[in-house]
Homo-oligomer: A and B are copies of this chain.
Amino acid sequence: MENKILHQPAEFKSNQEVRWCPGCGDHAVLNALHKAMSELGIPKEKFVVISGIGCSSRTPYYMNTYAFHTIHGRAAAISTGVKIANQDLTVFTVTGDGDALAIGGNHFIHFIRRNLNLNMVLLNNRIYGLTKGQYSPTSEEGKITKTSPYGTIEHPFNPGELVLGAQGKFFARSMDTNIKLQTEIMVEAAQFVGASVIEILQNCVIFNDGAYKNINDKETREDHQIILHHGEKMIFGKNRDKGLVLDGFKLKVVTIGQDGYTMDDILTHDAHCQEPFIHMMLINMAYPDYPTAFGIIRAVKGDSYGVKMDQQTAEIMAKSKIKCMDDVLNSGDTWEVK
């Protein structure tokens, strides 16, 4: 979809000094968000950015739109109120792995289930940045942090998996460094009708530097990342000669031209498929056995709460004889005192 550009990305920057650490992945995400807003061609005043608390959640201050830096874990719930109050607004909910999946876990799953037309950008650095380095629900097991001096003993959530468990319709993933992909995804997410979750693998240079080194090392990343596009073959690798095929109930990495695999054997990405199973497998692919999947992994149509709410309201308004509070007050049994 081509949109008429109303504002340049720079116009979305607020005059506040950006206070993230130099080198923090958040900077790139902010850039991408500014770009996406520009590309969406929506007037500045129609955007609302809502966040919780965390480094990532500082984003609202850097937006020259309407924006609200709320409280820890509640960004999803507050966004829900904003959107229901005014469906004309394009709302981005910016949150972190702690904000969304620890304290905010309940609003997160209901945000997904309700499927309002909201767009969540989840900056997953697998750590609590703002509070200076405690483990988060996405920290890998065994991780030593300030609150786990002997290593954590918890399985991390995989955000995409949880999204699917809550019946999510739109899930995408990007590396923080890939501004182009993020921008693309953000634009599509905003245009998608329903709740979208965009997981950004974000590097916290201070407390979890190198968390994604395995998959994002410049030298090898093409072999460890697969960027999916709907309708395109699932291929990757420096030489674009690796691909994914289905092997019973598992995905398998093959090299085209080896073991008899040809391009035809390679799966074609279908982001629109209602059945979640392949999406789930793609989401679960992990280093070192698999490339990590990026791009829009799932984007399936579903009824949006907001649309249904508006339809229902319109019907009720059309049908009901109760048009104003005088009608309400005088409805039912009444009597006159003279």
Partner-B contacts on A (CB < 8 A):
103-106, 109-110, 113-115, 137, 150-151, 153-158, 161-167, 249-250, 275-278, 280-281, 302-303, 305, 308-309, 312, 316
Contacts and interface: CB of A to CB of B under 8 A. Distances in A.
B165 A161 contact: yes
15 contacts: A105-B109, A106-B106, A114-B154, A153-B303, A153-B305, A153-B312, A157-B166, A161-B167, A163-B165, A249-B275, A249-B278, A250-B275, A277-B277, A277-B280, A277-B281
Residue with the greatest number of chain B CB neighbours at <10 A, chosen from A105, A106, A277: A106
A224 B167 CA distance: 24
A157 B277 CA distance: 17
Given A150-B312, A163-B165, A165-B162, A110 B115 contact: no
A262 B117 CA distance: 47
Top 5 A-B pairs, shortest CB-CB distance: A165-B165, A105-B106, A106-B106, A153-B308, A162-B165
A142 B176 CA distance: 40
Contacts of A281: 277
Nearest to A281: B277
Contacts of A278: 249
Given A105-B109, A150-B312, 14 more contacts: A105-B105, A109-B157, A113-B156, A114-B154, A150-B316, A153-B308, A153-B312, A155-B167, A155-B302, A161-B166, A249-B277, A249-B278, A277-B277, A277-B280
B312 A113 contact: no
A104 B107 CA distance: 11
A146 B63 CA distance: 41
